Structure 1
Amino acid sequence: MSDIEKKLIKKAQKGQVDAFETLIINYEKKIYNLAYQMFHNEQDAYDISQEVFIKVYQSIDKFNFSSKFSTWLHRITVNTAIDEMRKRKNKQTESIDAMIELGESKVTKQYDNQEMTPEDLVLRKERNEDLIHLLNQLKAEHKTIIVLRDIKGFSYEEISQILNCSIGTVKSRLSRARAKLKDLYTNHNLNNLKDFVK
């Protein structure tokens, strides 16, 4: 965390709205992208982001600098998203273009250095649709940990800070989530995801 960011946080904790707005501007895209990865819907990601910023505004005085500010924001985002998923009980709207637009999933990374033929684009789109379909069938906790590790690429340590649990717990939850995803994959016979679901 930079000295400038620390100063902004301290000013925001004292009620200076300009400092808070600057912090939000610095993180709004990352928060939106994380919410988007979890919901695959622009409006949902926007709504979650706004709810996160309200929660941050209401509780910024509780931030004690024991972790990175970004980690604290990610934790609030993940918890807000999980709460929303629980409310909906898997009634999220699916978006075909979710991972294609962000280009951050393992599924899309393998194509980065190749020219895409129209057939490749169709296969990639189908693959992403299938992956989103499977992810949306997982419990919120399983979906969250797969998004954080396998799609967003957070380290085990970062995930443990975001979810406020030990690295061992992260690894065991991830193992269970991947096993469940693999079961879903096997039951749906989706051969185009065999590289992602190992």
Structure 2
Amino acid sequence: MVLETSSTAEASIRAPADEAAAERDLARRAQRGDPSAYAQLVRGNQGRILRHLLNLTGSRDEALELSQEVFLKAWEALPSWRPEARFHTWLYRIASNVAYDLLRRRQLVSFEPLPPDHDTPAETDSPEVRLHAKQTIGQLDAALARLPPEQREIVLLREVEGLSYEELAAALAIDEGTVKSRLARGRAALAQIYTRMQT
């Protein structure tokens, strides 16, 4: 039993490293002009990039359109990708730039809350639990919509996408100290907005 737990722990430690190595290998092959390697990278990353764009724009249609633009731009910019950067982190940076270009064109100062079907409670929960969960999700989405874009983005990349401080620094082109302070301000602002909504 102890050996099983130990090997399971070792496997979970190795998994992210193996995943990073596989991603790096695919990106290198794509850089050399292998379209099937790039197709695998697109399939492996399209969900997270679409979710990120949806969180930034608040529009499913725009997020779908922008995700195609992100992968096209990434293909064209592949010669500039370097193996020191995780490929999906590099994609987040491209996605953020594309989304901010759109938001500047729309001259938005705030975001619309995400669509009601953005996230739903488990079907097995009781109706009361599901209703409460949907209300909470709706309130969190509304609170997130009131954050400045930079704070909203960093909170979502950390809390929803699970990026490390190092990955956030790479994706947002800022140093880790700035990541930590911006994230702390974003979390504090979100908590303050959410608390005000409860009263």
TM-score, L = length of structure 2:
0.76
For residues 62 and 112 of structure 2, the distance between their equivalents in structure 1, rounded to whole angstroms, comes to 9
Structure number with higher helix proportion: 2
Q: Is the 8 A contact 1:85 1:140 kept in 2?
A: no
Map Cα deviations across residues 45-72 of structure 1 (whole Å, 9 max, x no partner): 2122112111101211111212111221
Gaps (5+ residues) in structure 2? 1-19
Aligned pair partner of 2:198 in 185, 190, 194: 190
The match for 1:169 is 178
- Backbone CA RMSD of aligned residues: 2.6
For residues 162 and 28 of structure 2, the distance between their equivalents in structure 1, rounded to whole angstroms, comes to 30
How many residues align? The count is 178
1:38 aligns with 2:66: no
Which has the greater radius of gyration? 2
The residue correspondences of 1:1-198 to structure 2 (distance < 5 A) are: 1-2=20-21, 5-88=23-106, 89=108, 90=110, 92=112, 94-100=114-120, 116-187=125-196, 189-190=197-198
Q: Is the 8 A contact 1:52 1:77 kept in 2?
A: yes
Q: Is the 8 A contact 1:48 1:81 kept in 2?
A: yes
Deviation at 1:169, TM superposition (A): 0.8
Off by >4 Å, runs of 4+ in structure 1: 4-7
For residues 131 and 93 of structure 1, the distance between their equivalents in structure 2, rounded to whole angstroms, comes to 9
For residues 72 and 91 of structure 1, the distance between their equivalents in structure 2, rounded to whole angstroms, comes to 24
* Identical pairs, percent: 32
For residues 165 and 171 of structure 2, the distance between their equivalents in structure 1, rounded to whole angstroms, comes to 10
Deviation at 1:142, TM superposition (A): 0.8
Deviation at 1:119, TM superposition (A): 0.8
Gaps (5+ residues) in structure 1? 101-107, 192-198
Map Cα deviations across residues 41-100 of structure 1 (whole Å, 9 max, x no partner): 432321221121111012111112121112211222233233333433135463112132
Map Cα deviations across residues 77-132 of structure 1 (whole Å, 9 max, x no partner): 233233333433135463112132xxxxxxx7xxx7xx621011111111111111
TM-score, L = length of structure 1:
0.76
Deviation at 1:156, TM superposition (A): 1.8
